[in-house]
Amino acid sequence: MKLGLPDDSLPIQEMFEGFFAAESTPVRVRAAEPLGFDAALWRELVAIEAPFMRLSADAGGGGMSLFDTCLMMDQAGRRLASAPLAEAVVALRILGELGGDAARLWIDKIRDGETVLALALREAKPGVAQLVPGGAVAKAVLTFDGNELAIEIPAAPLAAPATLGGSAIGVFEPGKGQRLVISSGADAAKIWAAGIEEWKLLTSAALIGLSKEALAMAAAYACERIAFGQPIGANQGIAHPLAIDVIDADGGGMLLWWTLRAIADGAPDAAATVSMLYWWSVRTATSCVAHSLHTFGGYGLSVEYDIQLYHRRAKAWALVLGDPQAELVRAGRRLLLGETATLPDPGLVDVDFYPPTAGKELADETRALFKRILDPAKHNLVDHNFESHDWDVHRAIGAAGLLYPDWPVKWGGRGADADSTRASLTVWQEVGYAGLPRSTTSMIGHVVQKTAKPELQEEVLLRMGRGEISACLGYTEPSGGSDVFAAKTRAVRDGDDPNAGWIINGAKMFTSGAELASYVILITRTDPDVPKHKGITVFLVPMNKPGIEITPVHTFMDERTNATFYSDVRVEDKYRLGEINGGAKVLAAALTMEQGGGYYHLLIREMADTVAEWARGEQRNGRPLIEDSNLLARIAKAYADSRISEVLSGRVLGSRLAGIPDLAFGPASKVFSTEAFIVDSAELLDVAAPRSLLRGQQGLGLVEKGYRHSTATSIYGGTSEVLRSMVAERRLGLPRSRA
């Protein structure tokens, strides 16, 4: 897994970051309006060979990779470059691939810094006008009519109507000027088609850059603007929409890299992902600039404020291709109907989303163990809940040292490295065995190893490692919700001796797995007279202590959780984790381990696959339902969400491996993944209605089940509201919005 910017690409990013910051300032962007073309910027771009980056070296260009060209477009998007750069890059690449005297002539013409060759994005049809970005300042337009790829030289400059965001859009009507045919036939069609796909990728990169810059501007303003005695960024009504947007923009950036790698690898879904990426980038930019402008309030409407420049271009750049929703339908056709597409050669893509292959040996051993001990007729391999737990399976895995492979051997683990551990645990998802007590006990065991006294470690860790016992989480309280630092469960000294034990009284809600557990990690208040986060202490309490009562709470998700009550529960001081009133430090590591995208992308994809398979056998208006555009778009959206969920989850691990600072990547992943799970399960339930209302363990029953299961995912492991605040603070630098 390699998700950091490659060393060879860093200078390219830095060069274009400096170039556009200096040469495409807001002053120059405004000066280029209303047309939207900065002639001086164009000359400077030509001088540094920017439009020629993708032109092959044999044709006199830079022969650069699509990855590095997207880095350039990201920076162009951030600074709203007033030049048809994406169009020029694609047009020049097409000419270079076609070759011939006419192509070489126009490549040389563009080098003079005064000539612009525009690109008609739609198939040219005589008498049918189309809007061409850059056409208003172009000497010629590169076109394709379904057979011939030609350069058309207008008899007069193209009309330049007033538009939403400039882009020097010209009204082009084919057949009204000199026409130079460059190539024709199947080869020309393929080169043209690949060029349009490349334009989508380059424009997506620019929109992602635009989105991130707009959010950075909004965040800076939200830190400076004071209202009601505090920065407006401390208001969750401001902070949370921006947090959602930056998660989406980051997801778009990661999806762009994923797409480029998929093209390089020849992945079967690469073409569909190009269309998903383009739709996602347009959708995200629209939301980002809307919320960013809203952050500025009335000032954002003023032409003196830069944010309105971003607001207009977020739409204007993309809509020259048409309705972005059509691209989502196209993604569905490519994904589900086998529609083919010609994709550009991306060159070197030096990023890797795939987890390290190290650990295959341990994964194979884990797989073989499951094969021996799991019986689909006996064990629940469908439900992801505590009820599916089986002690015989748990103990067998523990006896093999594979419950917690990264634990030291002395505590029942294998002392495995992170890659081997990840590979081994991935097999659990592969075979479908949930093993939720393993997950909670793993987290608690890590906390015990770091914060418990040696005698407590000796008491519990080896038994955990062998699969003899499990532990549960005693965090949430009836009145506290996700605010674990608001705990009212009291722990007081049982006597004046500094080594005396403790008496605990209180109640916890949603103590899932308590009926199986031998211990509960319990948050208690030990000093009510200090700020709430400074007055808590954490204990690992044996569940067999007198005074503990477990009351089942059943959910409509067909799961059991529990309310637990603690009445004069006496525990020795050895069960304390960390320092007295130092519970915040103990919880920091535990809460971080809970946050991440998990396996939600797999559940979304499973539901989408299920609906697609069902739709293949259904008819609507005399045609297979799978061909319905609305259905294709909605399934494609679920696939897009699934992929972004996957890449954001991968970023959590990838950033650690690359040593990249963690800007709330775990919380961002969980927020996106769980909210996508909720939305997509509802959408897919709608698509397959009314058949989807029926419960079952397979087919559309998985969608109904997923819909019910999804509702809780944005609550446990940290609610989306809390995690959005963390993203706003750590990713965008906004003020703390929680007391």
Q: Quickly list DSSP for 538-591.
A: EEEEETTSTTEEEEEEE-TTS-EEEEEEEEEEEE-GGGEESSTT-HHHHHHHHH
Among 90-99, 145-154, 476-485, 617-626, the range scoring the smallest mean pLDDT is 476-485
Q: What is the pLDDT of residues 253-290, one digit of tens each?
A: 999 999 999 999 999 999 999 999 999 999 999 999 99
Residue 724 CA to residue 442 CA, distance in Å, equals 26
525 forms bridges with which residues in the sheet?
Answer: 490, 536
Is the CB of residue 635 less than 8 Å from the CB of residue 611? Answer: yes
Backbone angles phi, psi at 33, to 5 degrees: -80, 155
Q: What is the DSSP letter of 59?
A: G
Cα 490–Cα 496–Cα 499 angle in degrees, nearest 5: 85
pLDDT of residue 589: 64
Antiparallel, parallel or unpaired: β 519-525 and 140-144 = unpaired
Identify which of 494, 588, 498, 595 has the alpha carbon closest to the alpha carbon of residue 545. 494
pLDDT of residue 226: 95
Q: What is the pLDDT of residues 520-574, one digit of tens each?
A: 999 999 999 888 888 999 999 999 999 999 999 999 888 899 999 999 999 999 9
What's the whole-model pTM score? 0.91
Give yes or no for residue 736 having a pLDDT over 80: yes
pLDDT of residue 598: 66
Residue 285 CA to residue 248 CA, distance in Å, equals 9
Walk me through the domains of the chain, giving residue ranges and CATH numbers: 10-191 (1.10.540.10), 471-594 (2.40.110.10), 600-730 (1.20.140.10)
pLDDT of residue 355: 67
Backbone angles phi, psi at 704, to 5 degrees: -60, -45
Note if the bond before 34 is cis, omega within 30 degrees.
yes
Structure tokens at 728: 């706003």
Identify residue 101 by its one-letter amino acid code.
Answer: D
Give yes or no for residue 594 having a pLDDT over 70: no
Identify which of 116, 131, 134 has the alpha carbon closest to the alpha carbon of residue 174. 131
pLDDT of residue 167: 92
pLDDT of residue 430: 84
Helices (H), 225-269: 236-265
Place of tokens 């969400």: 641
Identify which of 516, 509, 520 has the alpha carbon closest to the alpha carbon of residue 564. 509
Residue 187, SS3 per DSSP: helix
pLDDT of residue 707: 95
Give yes or no for residue 584 having a pLDDT over 60: yes
Confidence of residue 472 (pLDDT cuts 50, 70, 90): very high
pLDDT of residue 593: 54
pLDDT of residue 473: 93
Confidence of residue 489 (pLDDT cuts 50, 70, 90): very high
Residue 568 CA to residue 411 CA, distance in Å, equals 32
Mean pLDDT of the chain: 93
Give yes or no for residue 658 having a pLDDT over 80: no
Residue 423 CA to residue 415 CA, distance in Å, equals 14
Q: What is the pLDDT of residues 683-714, one digit of tens each?
A: 999 999 999 999 998 899 999 999 999 988 88
Structure tokens at 106: 């126009």
Is the pLDDT higher at 602 or at 657? 602
